[in-house]
Amino acid sequence: MKIKEIEFGKYPTFLAPMEDVTDPAFRLMCKQFGADMVYTEFVSADALIRSVGKTRQKLNISDAERPVTIQIYGRDTETMVEAARIVEQARPDILDINFGCPVKRVAGKGAGAGMLQNVPLMLEITRAVVDAVKIPVTVKTRLGWDANNKIIVDLAEQLQDCGIAALTIHGRTRAQMYTGEADWTLIGEVKKNPRMRIPIIGNGDITTPQRAKECFDLYGVDAIMIGRASFGRPWIFKEVKHYLETGEELPPLSSEWRMEVLRREVEDSVNLLDERRGILHVRRHLAASPLFKGIPNFRDTRIAMLRAETKEELYRIFDTIAPLL
């Protein structure tokens, strides 16, 4: 599969853009475990053109991550075009436009998935951004605003006509947020549409290697994107890639090895930020790790993990967990 001139081979597996998750350290870790492409946290176009320091920092990418995509969101054409030109100077491989974020502070203001209620403006922004930059532009969106407005099959063609290089579809409506099951049937319909020429990337509820293979086989997508299943489990890319390439499950990874990865995640987060901010950033993702699933009476330990403020506190908790795995 190719996006413009970027070759990904068979069964590409991407790390989804996620706010407060896909910072440089986590992206690089997922890349090392087999993610074929990684995405930054989404970047506010408004904040970017106002040169807000924290937002500008989100443009920091390294060659070790490549191919890497920077994602932006906004609600008016002029601002999005200006932001796209700033992003291009950061030299990502791809620029992605977020038309899928469902959270109120974004969609409620007309950006992200809010654009699903204003398709003419969505298309105007897309066309203008494509024309403004030389790097490939892609879009990530949802099935539609709600169950009565699942517009993705027609919308996909319209976005393609704007000149985008690929389309990622999350198999939920905005109204669903992140609840219920992702519906891949409409993703499959988009892919099977004979008028679609660009790669289609499927996203939503890919939590196992087997489900990853099903999504390729049943719906014909060109690539898949993994998001929340990577929380506290960056090695999911290693498991998925092995299964896709061999048809067999990866031999079980030892609990010691996986705990060491989580320790590395803590260290990377602290080194990237500082101890206080690094722990705040990483602790909720660690607490969600499936590695701890099934441990009896784990609730108090999870709460302690969510309250930890130093590496030493987190590591002491890890030491009490290790014998239980």
Identify the pLDDT of residue 150: 98
Q: Is 30 among the residues known to form the active site?
A: no
Match 């054409």 to its residue by tokens. 77
pLDDT tens, N- to C-terminus, the chain (325 residues): 999 999 999 999 999 999 989 999 999 999 999 999 999 999 999 999 998 888 999 999 999 999 999 999 999 999 999 999 999 999 999 999 999 999 999 999 999 999 999 999 999 999 999 999 999 999 999 999 999 999 999 999 999 999 999 999 999 999 999 999 999 999 999 999 999 999 999 999 999 999 999 999 999 999 999 999 999 999 999 999 999 999 999 999 999 999 999 999 999 999 988 999 999 989 988 888 999 988 999 999 999 999 999 999 999 999 999 999 8
Compute the distance between CA of residue 211 and CA of residue 202 in angstroms, rounded to an integer.
Answer: 12
Would you say 23 and 12 are in contact if contact means Cβ atoms under 8 Å apart? no
Identify the pLDDT of residue 288: 87
Identify the pLDDT of residue 2: 96
Compute the distance between CA of residue 77 and CA of residue 89 in angstroms, rounded to an integer.
Answer: 19
315 CA to centre of own chain: 28
Name the pTM for this structure: 0.95
CB neighbour burial string for 82-102, b if at least 16 within 10 angstroms, e if fewer: bbbebbbebebbbbbbbbbbb
Identify the pLDDT of residue 108: 94
